[in-house]
Structure 1
């Protein structure tokens, strides 16, 4: 039985991940803004919440994120960029998970396998971007990918059996994506959660610092 910590456990994909992990027998601890007052953009809030956790955790997943923040929708053109929207996207989608990782490291065992995963998005891939648009969200997710990749390099010096990765869950059927899925194939949250856990089960420390999708395929930076 693995000890699992899920940040953002009240969201669509976060709650599905918690349910899927419990269904396979894991002991799951969940934290969220709505239930626990955890604000990933406020480091004091993270410190306060994490101090109550016993640890160690074999698997920690940061399932937080937002596409539309304070009414700022994804930009279709560069001329729609706003400083406030850019700042908010970086705070929620890049800074937040990075601060979670910072305070999660002491909760990860040093002498046994452990995994930290942050939910990213394929649109954060620079190499895969062929259509432009969604500039603030794309940039924030690209920044997240860099932060996790860099942290993974550092982490393997002290946690030699650790795996630290970014995951693309696909377009999941949640309120988060309801208005933006368009013609993209969507996946029910429970199925997406099972896919992600299966991918995490198959990763090894040799793959730390990588960016993988729901099938286990590596996503280009």
Structure 2
């Protein structure tokens, strides 16, 4: 197993990388804090990804942000700002899309290869019953569409490819520290569960949206 983990210095990304190495996998990681790899800087990100060589059995995008210019998600339309919307899309949608852009070159063509990006259940339009969290919800919903479209294209040249969005649940990281009322599991638990889900997916599951238990999430 050779894996590329984007955001491997963060909570879930680091746990995914650790879990893969524990199983004997070779992990190549890219992160903003350690490598200066910033997905909000398209030209810089493209250069770093273009420099990668060889095939990866797994490309796992663990980067993301709940808020960027605010201290918490928007609770009402009055809280909307162009700055937060643009910043959320840059991190949660455009960033993973820039990685997916390289998937056809980096995934094995004739063998199974997996591209997975962390999404969120709140990005589900069909499951949205509470409203609010506009920028985060919208950016994750847009990510889901990017992943779904990418899966269709990849299937034409990579018959065994699996390209999916994943909901990790509420994980105990700095990302969720301000939400003590949510039931949480550790990053290590999330990583093990998510990797188990990916291990069980087949080419016909490509383009789907799955949670950490393997259940499909409604679009």
2:219 is equivalent to residue 217 of structure 1: no
> Structure 2 CA distance, aligned partners of 1:29 and 1:160?
24
> Structure 1 CA distance, aligned partners of 2:41 and 2:187?
27
Cα distance, 1:104 vs structure 2: 3.0
Paired residue for 2:181? Answer: 183
> Structure 1 CA distance, aligned partners of 2:80 and 2:42?
27
> Structure 1 CA distance, aligned partners of 2:127 and 2:8?
29
> Structure 1 CA distance, aligned partners of 2:199 and 2:60?
13
Paired residue for 1:61? Answer: 60
- Deviations 1:5-27, CA, capped at 9 Å, x for gaps: 10000111100100011111111
For residue 151 of structure 2, give the secondary structure of its aligned residue in structure 1.
helix
Cα distance, 1:42 vs structure 2: 1.9
> Structure 2 CA distance, aligned partners of 1:15 and 1:52?
22
- Deviations 1:32-58, CA, capped at 9 Å, x for gaps: 011111111222112221233222000
Paired residue for 2:78? Answer: 79
Cα distance, 1:72 vs structure 2: 5.0
**With structure 2 as the length reference, what TM-score do the two structures score?**
0.97
User: 1:198 is matched with which residue: 185, 196, 209?
Assistant: 196
**RMSD, aligned α-carbons:** 1.0
- Deviations 1:117-161, CA, capped at 9 Å, x for gaps: 000000000111111110110000000001110111111001111
Structure 1 stretches lacking a partner, 5+ long: none
**With structure 1 as the length reference, what TM-score do the two structures score?**
0.96
Paired residue for 2:32? Answer: 33
For residue 141 of structure 2, give the secondary structure of its aligned residue in structure 1.
helix
Q: Determine if contact 1:72/1:85 at 8 Å carries over to the other structure.
A: no
What pairs with 1:152-191 in structure 2 (closer than 5 Å)? 152-180=151-179, 182-191=180-189
- Deviations 1:157-188, CA, capped at 9 Å, x for gaps: 011110000000000000001102x3221010
